[in-house]
């Protein structure tokens, strides 16, 4: 982050935008008859498929993302399953972010359906920021028929929790000075940076809300979460988060993986899978104007154990064939180290850099 006077940090105004049930919302636009039905975008309910997105109708049955499709079907016998169409979602997503940039030019996309907006660049007060966020919601809806929830505050951590506060379609503004009291009642696991392990330790120590983490005496904090992580999380719990927008490396990594219907041993089939995934990654990199320097391959064996192998290059690439070639080589190496049938393979690219940013320098 560039150096600047301390006042620029305290006067940041950041928004977090999150499209509502994005994949499902796109499918509903493509086929309006789905609108009134419980809908799951995901894998095969009779295989090992997982829910990618459930629409709000499906959520009434307790269906949510990351749940197995088989479980979704148990919860609602008449749920409609649709396979994900990623290239379609990318098109909608691009249209959304172009529209957003028409209102707030500086944006850090953290996914197809979410990202941070540098509202402070175009609004001086929280009142203006609210008007701007409303304008973003209106323009996105007008341009794409998609709805989004937005949170606005002085930091990423508060904006993120605020955007999740009134879903779907809500707007939550937490002005300077109100961050800690806004965060206070939320469950500790809602705080970005609190993983399952930290959550377990905190809850075991009686810390169940963000507010109780914020108020935890130093000795107690050190006992529950030793090291700098505890201090950092406590700061966040108090609404203090100095992270600005990350415009250089927009995301740490992107990856695609596939769980097979049947366990696979055939090398040619595995290579074909990897090459297909590499093409998808490549498409995504090109769509978002980025390259990656590290390619990795992930293997899950039939006993559920996981191996990953990666290789780094001197320069970033976005070419599907190149990524596929490297991914296949990594798979071969891993299978030489440990032969066996696989139930899943994946390809990832990290060390991402944006062309656009580079072009500006
Ligand atoms: Mg979303």
pLDDT digits (tens, 9 = 90+) for 22-66: 999 999 999 999 999 999 999 888 888 889 999 999 999 999 998
Distance between CA atoms of residues 148 and 20, nearest Å: 5
Instruction: Please state the rounded mean pLDDT for residues 167-172.
Output: 95
Using a CB cutoff of 5 Å, list residues around ligand 1, an ion: 18-19, 113
Q: Which residues are known to be catalytic?
A: 114
Q: What is the pLDDT of residue 1?
A: 39
Of the CA atoms within 13 Å of residue 251, those in its CB half-sphere come to: 18
**What's the pLDDT band for 355 if we cut at 50, 70, 90?**
low
Distance between CA atoms of residues 346 and 327, nearest Å: 9
Instruction: Please state the rounded mean pLDDT for residues 13-20.
Output: 97
pLDDT at residue 361 is higher than 50: no
Q: What value, to the nearest 5°, has the Cα angle with vertex 78 and ends 75 and 81?
A: 90
Distance 204 CA to ligand 1 centre (A): 31
Of the CA atoms within 13 Å of residue 222, those in its CB half-sphere come to: 3
Under DSSP, the state recorded for 104 is S
Q: What is the pLDDT of residue 307?
A: 84
3-state secondary structure 169-236: CCEEECCCCCHHHHHCCCEHHHCCCCCHHHHHHHHHCCCCEHHHHHCCCHHHHHHHCCCHHHHHHHHH
Distance 172 CA to ligand 1 centre (A): 16
Q: 181-238: per-residue pLDDT in tens?
A: 999 999 999 999 998 889 999 999 999 999 999 999 999 999 999 888 899 999 999 9
Q: Are 158 and 174 in contact (CB under 8 A)?
A: yes
Of residues 113 and 7, more confidence is placed in 113
pLDDT at residue 248 is higher than 70: no
**What's the pLDDT band for 8 if we cut at 50, 70, 90?**
very low
Q: 255-306: per-residue pLDDT in tens?
A: 888 888 889 999 999 999 999 999 999 988 887 778 898 899 999 888 877 7
Under DSSP, the state recorded for 107 is E
Enumerate residues 6+ apart whose C-beta is below 8 A from 259: 43, 48, 49, 50, 300, 343, 344
> What residue has token string 């606005």?
152
Q: What is the pLDDT of residue 252?
A: 64
Q: 109-147: per-residue pLDDT in tens?
A: 988 999 999 999 889 999 999 999 999 999 999 999 999
Distance 21 CA to ligand 1 centre (A): 5
pTM for this predicted structure: 0.68
Q: Are 237 and 189 in contact (CB under 8 A)?
A: no
Q: What is the pLDDT of residue 286?
A: 84
Q: For the chain, which domains are there? A: 8-21+87-180 (3.30.70.270), 23-84 (3.40.1170.60), 181-237 (1.10.150.20), 253-360 (3.30.1490.100)
Distance 102 CA to ligand 1 centre (A): 21
Distance 147 CA to ligand 1 centre (A): 10
């Amino acid at each position: 982050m560039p150096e600047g006077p301390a006042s620029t940090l305290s006067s940041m105004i950041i928004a977090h935008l999150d499209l509502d049930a994005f994949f499902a919302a796109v499918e509903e636009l493509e086929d309006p008859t789905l609108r009134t039905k419980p809908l799951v975008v995901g894998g095969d309910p009779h295989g090992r498929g997982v829910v990618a997105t459930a629409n709000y109708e499906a959520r009434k049955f307790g269906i949510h993302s990351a749940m197995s499709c088989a479980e979704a079907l148990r919860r609602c016998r008449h749920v409609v399953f649709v396979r994900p169409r990623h290239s379609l979602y990318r098109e909608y997503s691009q249209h959304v972010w172009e529209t957003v940039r028409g209102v707030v030019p500086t944006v850090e996309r953290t996914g197809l359906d979410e990202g941070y907006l540098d509202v402070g660049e175009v609004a001086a007060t929280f009142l203006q920021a609210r008007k701007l966020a409303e304008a973003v919601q209106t323009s996105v809806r007008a341009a794409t028929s998609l709805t989004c929830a937005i949170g606005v505050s002085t930091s990423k951590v508060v904006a993120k929790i605020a955007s999740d506060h009134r879903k779907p379609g809500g707007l939550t503004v937490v002005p300077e000075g109100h961050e800690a009291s806004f965060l206070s009642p939320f469950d500790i696991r809602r705080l970005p940076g609190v993983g399952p392990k930290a959550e377990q330790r905190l809850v075991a120590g009686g810390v169940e809300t963000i507010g109780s983490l914020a108020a935890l005496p130093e000795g107690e904090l050190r006992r529950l979460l030793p090291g700098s992580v505890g201090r950092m999380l406590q700061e966040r719990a108090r609404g203090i988060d100095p992270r600005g927008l990350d415009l250089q490396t927009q995301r740490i990594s992107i990856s695609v993986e596939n769980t097979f219907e049947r366990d696979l041993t055939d090398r040619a089939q595995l290579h074909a899978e990897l090459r297909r995934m590499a093409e998808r990654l490549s498409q995504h990199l090109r769509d978002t104007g980025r390259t990656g320097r590290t390619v990795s391959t992930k293997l899950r064996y039939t006993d559920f154990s996981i191996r990953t192998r990666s290789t780094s290059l001197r320069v970033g690439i976005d070419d599907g064939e190149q990524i596929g070639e490297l991914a296949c080589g990594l798979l071969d190496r891993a299978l030489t180290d440990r032969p066996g049938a696989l139930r899943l393979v994946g390809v990832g690219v990290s060390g991402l850099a944006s062309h656009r940013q580079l072009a500006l320098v």
